Amino acid sequence: MGTGQRVVMLADCQSFYASVEKAAHPEFRDRPVVVAGDPAHRSGIVLAACPIAKSFGVTTAERLGEALAKCPELVVLKPRMEEYIRVSLQITDILQSYTDLVEPYSIDEQFLDVTGSARLFGDPASIARHIQARIREETGVRTRIGIAENKALAKMACDNYAKKNECGVYMLRKDKLDESLWQLPVHNMFMIGARMTQHLHRMGIHTIGDLARTPLEKLKERFGREFGKNSDIHAEVLWRIANGHDDSPVSPNTFEERPKSIGHQMTLPRDYMSMGEIRVALLELSELVCQRCRAKGVMGRVVSVGCQGADFDRPSGFYRQMKMEVASSVTDDIFRTACVLFERHWDRLPVRKVAVALGELTPDREYQLTLIADREKQLALERAADRIKQKYGNAAIMRASSATPAGQAKSRSQKIGGHSK
């Protein structure tokens, strides 16, 4: 890479959950392993498959039954999210020994800017190989590393090249994109999914090079015809990525910024048919949302509620929001509003998934005085409950409704991100 250019890497852990499990279970080293949820609770999908399992045609996100049909000797392990988070943080610590500019992108992907590390650790390829060796030695996980002068190119270097070559390292040069990246189908580009691919094909854009070579003003004009008004920014973002432009820094504090909203959703263990059962789910979700708000020192004024029906062939459901008179992080306030929204918009069809979110967040130090005299007492009580839950777990204190058949609080307390701890 040229003198004075940034050197950015994207380190991706191969089949992360499955790799962690194989490291913990050496007896499965040469066997096909998948990490999958529990079919009895509608989470029976493959979350991660090791390379051996993938050689049988097993893919991530397919149903466990389909995976077992392809490979009857499949070793199926339940997810252990706490362990995966621990290993992910361990890998972050390893990366931070090379640079203080490390930005987690997901649980198994992290950006790092090693521009200032060359004097200590050598050229970019040497740094990448050293990182790979340390992570493999200390965690048992194999990593693939894309190298470029910015985050977008590093991501595409990893996804399109490092994941597919023998050494797992690839350097993508911006001055030679016409010989490499531009030759690839447009769906291989970062931030382009299946639906956008169809739109671009209708515009006559089939490769990343086609997109990059299209004059920006002409691309904006095409996007305007395809998507309508206010599509200029989207067109320019994709055009810049295709041409290798990305000025965004590698920021260690990405996830420390105040969120615009805080929400939770719940896939129900069975179809809920009555408002009584749904109220239990709404109360538990409201409690989780408010607990997270208080932990972040915020409160919100806009309550959003959504649901998804049980019939995928005939989709049903809604997503609506309502503004409260004053901002709050008190569970009962959010729950009452959520119930009003749900009863107003629910079509009485069976419900499979429910969501609650709180938006228009403000610091909880700045709140409007109300005529509700018990507000301070309610907040103090809920904060005391938060401290108990933080110390002993979310199941330490539960509402009586959570002990009914419709309650999921105890089951959820044993999971992280919807999966077993």
Q: Is 418 left (phi over 0), alpha (psi -120 to 50) or beta?
A: left
Beta-carbon contacts of residue 411 (< 8 Å; ≥ 6 apart) = 41, 269
CA dist list (Å): 182 to 160, 189, 199, 203, 397: 12, 9, 18, 17, 56
CB-CB contact of 280 with 406 (8 Å)? yes
Place of tokens 């408002």: 275
d(CA 246, CA 240): 7
Tell me which residues are annotated as active site: 109
d(CA 73, CA 210): 45
Sequence letter at residue 34? V
Beta-carbon contacts of residue 147 (< 8 Å; ≥ 6 apart) = 1, 7, 8, 9, 124, 125, 128, 154, 157, 169, 170, 171, 172
